[in-house]
Amino acid sequence: MTRSVTERRVLSVIGGVIPLVFAFYVYRLHGMTDFINDYGPLQRNLLYLVTVGLLAWAGLAIDLLWRKKRDRAGAAVARFAWIMPVVAILLTTGFAGYILVPKYSGGGDVPPQLILLTTPSGHAVPNLAVSFYTAAATKNTLLWGEADGKLRHATERSAVRKHWFELSGLKPDTQYMYTVNDSSAVRFRTPPASGETFWFAAAGDAHVGNETSNTAATERMLKNIALPTNGYSLFFDLGDTAQLGFNRGIWQTAGDTFSPYTGSIPTAYVPGNHDTMLGGLGLYQRYLGLPASAGGDAPLYRRIDCGGAHFLLLDLEWELGTYTPAEKVWLEAQLKSIPPRDWTIVMCHTFFYASGGEEDGWPWYDNKAVINELTPLFKKYDVDLVISGHKHQAEVLRSDGVTYVIAGTLGGRPDTILTHTSPASLWLKQGVLGFADVTIQGSSATVAFRDADDKVLYRTTIKK
């Protein structure tokens, strides 16, 4: 056997292995089982890649069977056996480069945000953290305290990139301020005391970094939500904040878009499938997530209590691919522990009941897997309200006494396909941007949907 024949066969083996290993690696990344199963274009591209790898092996097999032929057919087989592994290696390298280059390059500093933490027992107001990121490791100082009181001083022990200052022991309905390294002071108000009326806003799917997203509208909505005179105490972002979660530059743009507003209103993010896609989980954690040192519940799902309202934030990004057994046990334990007279509000990226139509090979309506798995729990434990994104439309639905709100309307291109109306639907508006505006007032809650110009398009009341 000549040296070139040996080289060709070694190349064929490698050309078959590389796409398979790469496809398996992608499939195993956080959230990617659902993404690949449910999103036709990605599924097709991975299938093409694996097929090219298999063709490289097919070329090797034919080459081995044909090895004694020195005719034109034998030469064609030899060419095929050379070309297929080269194509397989080039395609895999291209795909890997598409993910890894933006993941490990670009991106700069991201300004401070005020992140909601799990509420420690005995406290009426959730702890908060001032969180920001610097491209280079730096050591920072935070001054914070009641706006008209004595300020506290905290300095990081060493130079780091992810900066995390926890603000604990906060009093309700009190104005606080903070300043990082003597920059201009940011003021914020803590939520009111237990039993007082309070407002919160929720929306997702800003999809910053997608050319079809309306990021100017995203900023307009965030500005309205953070405006002190509008009275919102909390803001929940329902995921898909970044279009490509593996792209540092996009995360920086998202941070620059959100921080001017989320720096002054207590904010919680839930992970969306776009945030964590193709290995984006690490960047999501870096820019929006809680560090492991934050303690409490697992950082991807957590509970936030605000007086008599209990928010359970889940990691449910599409179907059940990210819903771990540990998360399931945790959710049931939380639901069990909430007194029936209190408000139980679940938030996650993916939707449960919804009207819509099929797109990219997946039925974007009544999400069967999550309905079957979670809604019996919601019914059993009297969950009051479930707020989700993922579908880019505004919809309010009710099933088994639970109200479901879809508000995937924070800037990503609105959905327009409607071939199936959910039997649970009360109100649907497609082609609109906006956010859910919820008022908790004793034993009743008002759920409204406001468009990007702050106009109320729908309102319903829920009684305990």
CA distance 32 to 28: 7
CB of 239 to Fe ion, least distance (A): 6
CB of 141 to Fe ion, least distance (A): 38
Residues that bind Fe ion (CB under 5 A): 205, 240, 272-273, 390
What's the burial of 376, exposed, middle or buried (CB within 10 Å: 0-12/13-18/19+)? exposed
Strand 309-313 with 343-348, pairing:
parallel
Q: Which is nearer to Fe ion, 254 or 294 (CB)?
A: 254
Q: What separation in angstroms does the CA of 58 have from each of 7, 13, 110, 272?
A: 16, 10, 49, 39
Residue 376 near residue 396 (C-beta atoms within 8 A) = no
CB of 360 to Fe ion, least distance (A): 12
Q: Which is nearer to Fe ion, 233 or 367 (CB)?
A: 367
CA distance 311 to 267: 12
Q: Which is nearer to Fe ion, 266 or 434 (CB)?
A: 434
CB of 138 to Fe ion, least distance (A): 33
CB of 208 to Fe ion, least distance (A): 11
Q: Which is nearer to Fe ion, 32 or 170 (CB)?
A: 32
Three-state DSSP class for residue 312: strand
How far from the centroid of its chain's Cα atoms is residue 335's Cα?
A: 22
Query: Which of 373, 377, 375, 404 is closest to 388 using CA atoms?
Result: 404
Q: Which is nearer to Fe ion, 316 or 335 (CB)?
A: 316
Q: Which is nearer to Fe ion, 239 or 308 (CB)?
A: 239
CA distance 170 to 175: 10
CB of 59 to Fe ion, least distance (A): 39
CA distance 303 to 200: 16
CB of 273 to Fe ion, least distance (A): 4
- First-to-last alpha carbon distance for the chain, in angstroms, is 81
Q: Which residue is nearest to Fe ion (CB)?
A: 240
CB of 159 to Fe ion, least distance (A): 36
Q: Which is nearer to Fe ion, 332 or 359 (CB)?
A: 359
Q: Which is nearer to Fe ion, 210 or 334 (CB)?
A: 210
Residue 312 β-bridge partners: 303, 346
Could you tell me the two tokens for 69?
């032929």
Q: Which amino acid is at 368?
A: K
Which DSSP string corresponds to 394-451? EEEEEETTEEEEEE--SSSPPP---SB--TTEEEEE-S--EEEEEEEETTEEEEEEEE
Q: Which is nearer to Fe ion, 272 or 414 (CB)?
A: 272
CB of 318 to Fe ion, least distance (A): 7
**3-state DSSP of 241-299:** CECCCCCHHHHHHHHHHHHHHHCCCCEEECCCHHHHHHHCHHHHHHHCCCCHHHCCCCC
